[in-house]
Amino acid sequence: MLFRYSRWDGTQQLADLDADDLLAAMSDDLMSDGDLWNALRRMFQRGVQNPQGSPVPGIQDMLDRLRKRRQQQLDRYDLGSALEDIKKKLDEVIRTERAGVDREVKDQGERAKKLETLDQLPPDPAGRIKQLQDYNFTDPEAERLFQELMKSLQQQMLQPFMQGMKQSLEGMSPEDLKRMREMMRDLNRMLRQRAEGDEPDFDAFKAKWGQNFPGVESLDELLEQLGRRAAQMQSLLDSMSPGQRRQLQEMMSSLFMKDERLEAEMAQLAMHLDQLGLTEDMRRRYDFRGDDELSMREAMKLMDELQQMEELERQLRRVQSPDDLERIDPVDVEKLVGEEAARDLERLKELAKKLEEAGYLERKGDRLELTARAIRKLGDKALRDIFAHLKRDRFGRHVVERRGAGGDPTDEAKRYEFGDPFLLDLKETLMNAVERNGAGTPLRLSPDDFEVFRTELSTQASTVVMLDMSRSMINNGYFLPAKKVALALTALIRGQFPRDSLWILGFSLYARQFTAEELPRLAWTEWNIGTNMHHGFQLSRQLLGRQKGGNKQIIMITDGEPTAHMEGLEADFSYPPTRRTFEETLKEVQRCTREGITINTFMLEQSRMLTAFIEQLTRINKGRAFFARPERLGEYILVDYVRNKRRSIA
């Protein structure tokens, strides 16, 4: 493989995350509450750090960029300038008409009357529009400018309701307005029926008017589209000052003064949409603070963009699973947030696919679940994490890498004899050949030259790990490291001591056996009250009693003294603990001791009552007790386990 190195300039492609990196990144979340969906959701939200390459930003990063982009728009524009733009266009109409009157009207009296009419026009846009609609223009250019302005404003006011009628809006002939009025009447009839609990005949409406609403296949889709457009106009009004809002509303009213029926249908449609709650969730007041001017058309376009940002933010916030991510359109993300965000979205979508393709996740119906392979990987990672920490701290001993059939190798070598594990000591073997043959090549080996490493016998052991699952373990943050240790022990035994037996018991009010596959999903519930060591020791003794080997041990991880014991088949809980709870628990310790079961206890707290109880337990059982910080728990247990596995052969 050829590697080429160069100075970093930002254009190089960094290695992307593989499935192992992703599983490792979400391992603590998986172990913490045992919920794969929560772990995936948090990975989507936070993204994934990549030590060897570029990180994958998460949903939260995308939301931050989206908010920043939206704030840039609000800080840039002055929404009130949309009305100023209309005023400027009306001023141009009036100036052009004045010039035409001065040029074309020769009669002094008529000219004075025309100019006086223009002088007496109201200062506000709505009043000017209302009066100019009845004005008899002298200058053709002034009339053209006014009609173009009227047409443009009518389009902008109607477009939120009639998005699909672009061509009709551009023409705005009397026949178009008549058809629009008829369509609005049909729309209002359907909305009234829906509000009254009836089901309108949408198919008939679609057959008649469907060409104006491309892509709409149901009444609900139509209502969503209309509600979104109406909310766009309402957001524009809400974002203006009271004075500006009043001017725009009056202007909207004056635009259709010659067609009061159309205006009434429009008002009725807005009322129905509001009553059905279709605009309430989407309308929002925006605080514009900028100085850049914009026209009414640009203001409506900006409202549409801001509304799309709001919808994208809602979609991003709702992401809980890979399927939710798939519903987000990367085209929308690129348009609203940028190309980089769209690329990040595609990389997020690939995360779950990589885990599935690697065999770490499998689909069962509409859900994803961890596979047995993923559980093994989690155990291997827990083991690596713990032993990596040991190496840094030079604490204890780690098992050597070389393995053979007879047990673990030592540093001593011996002449090979038939039946020995063939753990060849190459250096000594070659030196034997040199001593026998002398210097020179080729070097010829004979069977007597072979030397192999001596090995140690590995004894067989049976172990029960008892995990305290009481409420205090969860509240104090001890349960996650305890689960990791249990998984690490599973990985250790599977990989290096395959003939050993390991069971995992969780205990709170009752004790219960769990498999290694269940460990990552093991979570606290509201029933996890009490610390019933008595039941835990009972079940452990039953499990270990089935084993023939002599090495039997219980590793108990707890942060508190026993607060429950068994009375027959029922648990008896009391806090503070009763004397009987202590007595029954210690009786079970005595039974374990008689059956040759060693109990090693790892205390995560050093309370007076817990310490006193553990002293009695160790005095009876002759096991050991350790106080361990949660972050060092795995080191103590695994080092202790490995040390107890070794026994030299004479």
Domain span including residue 420:
402-456
- Flag whether pLDDT at 172 surpasses 50: yes
Tell me 284's DSSP state: -
At 85-115, the pLDDT tens digits run 888 898 999 999 899 988 888 888 888 888 8
Task: Say if residue 350 is exposed, middle or buried (CB neighbours under 10 Å; 0-12, 13-18, 19+).
Answer: middle
- What are phi and psi for residue 499, nearest 5 degrees? -90, -5
Q: What angle do CA 543, 545, 550 make, to 5 degrees?
A: 115
User: 635: part of which helix (H) or strand (E)?
Assistant: helix 633-645
Per-residue confidence at 6, pLDDT binned at 50, 70, 90? low
Query: 3-state DSSP call for residue 465?
Result: strand
Query: 3-state DSSP call for residue 466?
Result: strand
User: 6: part of which helix (H) or strand (E)?
Assistant: none
Please report whether residue 605 resides in a domain.
yes
Q: Please give the average per-residue pLDDT across 328-344, as a whole number.
A: 86
**Same-domain pairing of 601 and 627:** yes
**Same-domain pairing of 491 and 539:** yes
Please report whether residue 497 resides in a domain.
yes
Please report whether residue 305 resides in a domain.
no
- Flag whether pLDDT at 8 surpasses 80: no
For 34-38, 248-252, 265-269, 423-427, which range has the lowest pLDDT when averaged over its residues?
A: 34-38
Please report whether residue 170 resides in a domain.
no
pLDDT on residue 590: 93
Note whether 96 and 138 are within 8 A (CB).
Answer: no
**Same-domain pairing of 109 and 226:** no
Please report whether residue 123 resides in a domain.
yes
The region, left, alpha or beta by phi > 0 then psi within -120 to 50, assigned to residue 391 is alpha
- Flag whether pLDDT at 195 surpasses 60: yes
Please report whether residue 384 resides in a domain.
no
Query: In sequence order, which residues have a C-beta less than 8 Å from that of residue 634 and are 6 or more positions away?
Result: 382, 385, 386, 389, 481, 484, 485, 488
- Flag whether pLDDT at 537 surpasses 90: yes
Counting the structural domains of the chain, the total is 5
Note whether 29 and 43 are within 8 A (CB).
Answer: yes
At 37-65, the pLDDT tens digits run 677 777 777 777 765 556 777 888 888 99
**Same-domain pairing of 363 and 345:** yes
At 347-377, the pLDDT tens digits run 787 777 777 777 777 777 667 777 767 777 7
The rounded distance, in Å, linking the Cα atoms of 338 and 84 is 31
pLDDT on residue 585: 92
At 489-507, the pLDDT tens digits run 887 777 777 778 888 898 8
For residue 572 the two structure tokens come to 């008896």
Encoded amino acid at 122, one letter: P
How much is the mean pLDDT over the chain?
Answer: 78
User: 381: part of which helix (H) or strand (E)?
Assistant: helix 372-393
**Same-domain pairing of 182 and 316:** no
pLDDT on residue 167: 43
For residue 615 the two structure tokens come to 């002293």
Query: How many angstroms separate the Cα of 180 from the Cα of each of 154, 213, 232, 456?
Result: 12, 13, 20, 93
The rounded distance, in Å, linking the Cα atoms of 515 and 486 is 10
The rounded distance, in Å, linking the Cα atoms of 595 and 545 is 8
**Same-domain pairing of 152 and 268:** no
Q: State which of 176-180, 306-310, 317-321 shows the largest mean pLDDT.
A: 306-310
| Residue that wins the pLDDT comparison between 94 and 441 | 94
**Same-domain pairing of 432 and 449:** yes
Please report whether residue 465 resides in a domain.
yes
Angle, nearest 10°, between helix axes 579-594 and 608-621? Answer: 30
Encoded amino acid at 459, one letter: T
pLDDT on residue 2: 59
pLDDT on residue 140: 92
**Same-domain pairing of 428 and 465:** no
Per-residue confidence at 235, pLDDT binned at 50, 70, 90? confident
pLDDT on residue 160: 52
Query: Of 228, 242, 223, 235, which Cα lies nearest the Cα of 303?
Result: 235
pLDDT on residue 399: 36
Residues of the chain above pLDDT 90, percent: 8
Per-residue confidence at 591, pLDDT binned at 50, 70, 90? very high
- Flag whether pLDDT at 576 surpasses 70: yes
* Boundary-marking domain end, from 456, 491, 526: 456
Per-residue confidence at 525, pLDDT binned at 50, 70, 90? low
**Same-domain pairing of 440 and 483:** no
**Same-domain pairing of 180 and 152:** no
**Same-domain pairing of 619 and 495:** yes
- Flag whether pLDDT at 582 surpasses 90: yes
Please report whether residue 263 resides in a domain.
yes
**Same-domain pairing of 426 and 487:** no
Q: Please give the average per-residue pLDDT across 191-210, as a whole number.
A: 85
Per-residue confidence at 12, pLDDT binned at 50, 70, 90? very low
To the nearest 10°, the Cα dihedral for 363, 367, 373, 374?
A: 140
At 369-423, the pLDDT tens digits run 777 677 777 767 766 666 555 554 444 333 333 333 445 556 677 788 776 777 7
